[in-house]
């Protein structure tokens, strides 16, 4: 009976070879294999989750920067322009004479309406930003007061009362001393936020790279241990998991290159948007001070002359070779450069005439005379520049939107979250399957 007792065999059944012993003579136990399985699965899942978070986060940042942050910047920059243009329109209207031409009345009313609309839209966008909300709230309270001062100036001007100039000076001082700085605070904040958003949405996600490299190292270690214990060069499941992590790593680097190139172009477009919008505001500012210099007739101690000269000089960058090169020397940019030079020349002539005390000639140079009053002088040049800058802004805005869409698409667009997660899950399943085949030999 003792001889007939069945002997115990280590294996999974008849004809199955026993597991090989490790080089050190120790057999790999199921416990160790379970640890390797869990380590491999966790490493691949972690790589997938981190990649999904990084890629989708940057894709979301690109969309938010283009659709919200830069859009808000554009709104507050337009707000600044409409304020400056309202001031220029009111000052020029007084310069023309007692009867304000209807186009100037309509233009002033349109500017104030747009200011109110832009304030409403911008205030909703900055909800949660205490600083911006406070600045826009102050501005909203000042717009009616500013309009009232201008209204009183125009009313007194109709009757030929000299006090009209004092009312306009009060309104202008309020706008340039309080209202414009409040808007500039928000403009600076949103400009910085847009630039930071473009930077955050592009470049290499080094956290994802680091996690993927660690995951690969873990899979290489697991594969090496399995190879030593099974005498097989490759475990298909672990190899598939390595491939999944490599795809995540390659995706991260490819997205970094694509997004960086698109974001670099977008930054150039955004710089052009900034220059053209600032140029439009400076144009309106120069118009206002040229008119105020002639209205005040030296009572301001030459400050209007200094400010109008500075505002005209601020238009210079749009005529520079760098700006022309950045825009590709398009027809619109070349026209803007030509029209700005004509406007600056006309404005400087009016400034010098007023500075010499020749106010009658300065008024004719600025707004024309006779039947052309309000439509002659520097007015046609100023309108051409406004149209040119508006066209350039729209052109650059279109390019910017396209480039930021390219930044977003570099991360696979809407699939930036789901695809890396799916890839990480498939890799984890593959690793588990491959190691589980080794565990099956112990069952």
Please report the DSSP string for 231-261 in residue order. Answer: --S--HHHHHHHHHHHHHHHHHHHHHHHHHH
Q: What is the pLDDT of residue 412?
A: 80
20 lies in some domain:
no
Separation in Å, CA 442 to CA 18, 20, 225, 436? 9, 12, 17, 10
Cα torsion 324, 330, 332, 336 to 10°: value is 20
> What letter does residue 421 receive in the DSSP assignment?
H
Phi-psi region of 331 (alpha: psi -120 to 50; beta: other; left: phi over 0): alpha
Considering the domain boundaries, does residue 7 fall inside one? no
Flag whether 23 is in a domain.
Answer: no
- Residue 255 within a domain: yes
Q: How many domains does the chain have?
A: 1
Q: What are the CA-CA distances from residue 80 to residues 74, 85, 100, 136, 315 (Å)? A: 10, 9, 24, 12, 16
Q: What is the DSSP letter of 2?
A: T
**How far is the C-alpha of 306 from the C-alpha of 43, rounded, in Å?**
67
22 within domain boundaries: no
Q: Which residues of 6-15 are buried (b: 16+ CB within 10 A; e: fewer)?
A: eeeeeeeeee
59 Cβ partners below 8 Å, 6+ apart?
A: 201, 408, 411, 412, 413, 416
pLDDT at 443 (0 to 100): 57
> What is the structure's pLDDT at 213?
96
- What is the pLDDT at residue 24? 43
Given a cut of 70, the residues of the chain with pLDDT beneath it are 1-28, 230, 413-414, 442-443
Q: What is the pLDDT of residue 268?
A: 93
The pLDDT score that the predictor gives to residue 12 is 42
Residue 10 lies in a domain: no
Write down the pLDDT at residue 31.
Answer: 82
Q: Are 249 and 48 in contact (CB under 8 A)?
A: no
Residue 174, domain member (yes or no): yes
Domain around 405: 30-442
Is residue 38 situated within a structural domain? yes
């Amino acid at each position: 009976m003792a001889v007939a007792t069945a002997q115990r065999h280590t294996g999974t059944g008849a004809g199955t070879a026993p597991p090989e012993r490790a080089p050190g003579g120790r057999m790999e136990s199921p416990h160790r294999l379970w640890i390797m399985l869990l380590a491999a699965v966790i490493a691949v899942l972690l790589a997938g989750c981190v990649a999904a978070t990084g890629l989708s986060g940057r894709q979301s940042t690109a969309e938010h920067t283009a659709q919200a942050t830069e859009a808000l910047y554009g709104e507050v920059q337009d707000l600044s322009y409409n304020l400056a243009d309202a001031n220029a329109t009111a000052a020029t209207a007084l310069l023309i004479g007692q009867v304000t031409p209807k186009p100037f009345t309509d233009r002033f009313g349109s500017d104030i309406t747009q200011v109110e609309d832009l304030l409403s839209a911008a205030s909703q966008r900055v909800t949660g930003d205490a600083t911006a909300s406070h600045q826009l709230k102050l501005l909203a309270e000042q717009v009616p007061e500013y309009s009232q001062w201008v209204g009183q100036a125009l009313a007194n001007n109709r009757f030929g009362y000299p006090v009209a100039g004092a009312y306009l000076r009060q309104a202008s001082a309020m706008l340039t001393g309080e209202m414009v700085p409040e808007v500039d605070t928000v403009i600076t904040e949103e400009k910085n936020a847009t630039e930071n958003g473009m930077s955050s949405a592009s470049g290499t996600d080094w956290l994802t790279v680091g996690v993927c490299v660690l995951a690969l190292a873990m899979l290489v270690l697991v594969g090496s241990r399995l190879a030593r214990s099974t005498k097989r060069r490759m475990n298909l499941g672990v190899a598939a998991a390595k491939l999944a992590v490599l795809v995540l790593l390659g995706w991260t680097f490819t997205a970094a290159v694509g997004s960086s190139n698109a974001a670099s172009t977008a930054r150039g477009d955004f710089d052009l948007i900034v220059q053209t919008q600032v140029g439009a505001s400076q144009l309106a500012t120069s118009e206002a001070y040229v008119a105020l210099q002639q209205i005040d007739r030296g009572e301001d101690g030459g400050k209007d002359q200094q400010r109008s000269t500075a505002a005209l000089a601020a238009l210079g960058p749009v005529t520079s070779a760098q700006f022309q090169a950045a825009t590709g020397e398009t027809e619109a940019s070349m026209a803007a450069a030509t029209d700005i030079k004509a406007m600056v020349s006309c404005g400087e002539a009016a400034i010098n005439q007023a500075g010499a005390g020749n106010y009658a000639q300065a008024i004719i140079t600025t707004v024309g005379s006779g039947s052309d009053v309000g439509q002659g002088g520097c007015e046609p040049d100023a309108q051409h520049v406004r149209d040119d800058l508006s066209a350039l802004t729209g052109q650059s805005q279109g390019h910017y939107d396209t480039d930021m869409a390219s930044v977003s698409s570099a991360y696979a667009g809407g699939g930036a979250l789901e695809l890396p997660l799916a890839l990480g899950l498939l890799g984890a399943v593959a690793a588990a399957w491959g190691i589980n085949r080794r565990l099956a030999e112990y069952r």
